[in-house]
Structure 1
């Protein structure tokens, strides 16, 4: 499934210190056309139809992917007459109207014939979190669907040797410190994703001793401890020796979710 603009912006705004209040429950709806990033698809409409409550399991990793899926069978009301062909589903925070969080295309189109009641079996609705988010924040994002809100954070840029998700360690040495990041408001890019960029120039202190090998750039959610949010593999490592000062110009860091 794909995140809508609403979910993307609410999540990204946590990096600006704004809390993302999760809905207490979420509902699945049936759509004839793609809801797209705006959540504005053509929803099924027949006598008795309504979105159905969906409960998800806890986020878990399988084959390197963090996901959630519906725990229980979901039954829609029966229709007395043909109601069209469902091609997409959407997950929203309200039974009527509200905000759509995510949408996805069915693996097979579902034609709703007269006297039929659409059904989803347990595990058939899956929501994934991919990309450069850390494992911890992929789970936080997916737990929005489980009613768990996210606090706003104070993001800082950090330098690591290997990924913190794989046991990597943050660089150390005299004068080393994480650098605070200020982010712009989320904007939509050419692919339709909501993106935020750093609005301040990021200057690390100049090393007065060797700091070690830098091969991952990481956004942390606190100045000192906390958890990793985004993890970027630089591809090749660089030995940070005395006198070398890493910097990131305004707009150099761009973040989006998938």
Structure 2
């Protein structure tokens, strides 16, 4: 089998070259406009994308009017080489391949081979959406199964009170007694009223309360109270840890005590932070 190449007249070739030159010229003008007015996002000039796109578009129109057919948006390739050389070699020689250059290549290929690129994008996007939909359905089935199991499953735990359907309140007296037995002074103010003391520096302690999945199956009011109980218990643990740290440095109190409660991300965990100035009261 022999390959046959289509021969064109010199007039056809001149007009084709003229179409490419017109497209390239328009693309350069577009790129210069973007450079002059600093049209960019986070330092990346958008002319890197729109200049080749404009060049290919104008070239296509010019070629269809001059020779009656599309010649493949050659000016888009020329503009891509020019803008890449200027932006990534002359101006910023340390920059390499990135999302902007990848986007420019896609735009150029789209202009030169629209049917092929559209088909590839259709297959890729369709495959991605199909896989994403399957993942969502799989996750939905697993979540539904877990919820159904939670309605009949009794969690094995040493704290059986969470499953008896009653509201339990935090024992404030027991909490206060526990902290008072430490022999430690917790002060939120900085006024020592002329009490002789030495400062030891800033101290901080943290406690993270993990999300308890058992609360999902509980009545909303009971779950809210149990969560509050967990936070108060975590607060006591945080204060005890802070007191232990200061006592290790020879202190017996803290002033300017602050407590912060922070929700960590979307996981539902809560971080409790206690911070203040450690002191030794003489």
TM superposition score normalised by structure 2: 0.16
Q: Which has the higher helix share?
A: 2
Q: Which of the two has higher C-alpha Rg?
A: 2
Compare relative contact order (CA 8 Å, sep 6+) and give the higher one, 1 or 2: 1
TM superposition score normalised by structure 1: 0.17
Q: Which has the higher strand share?
A: 1
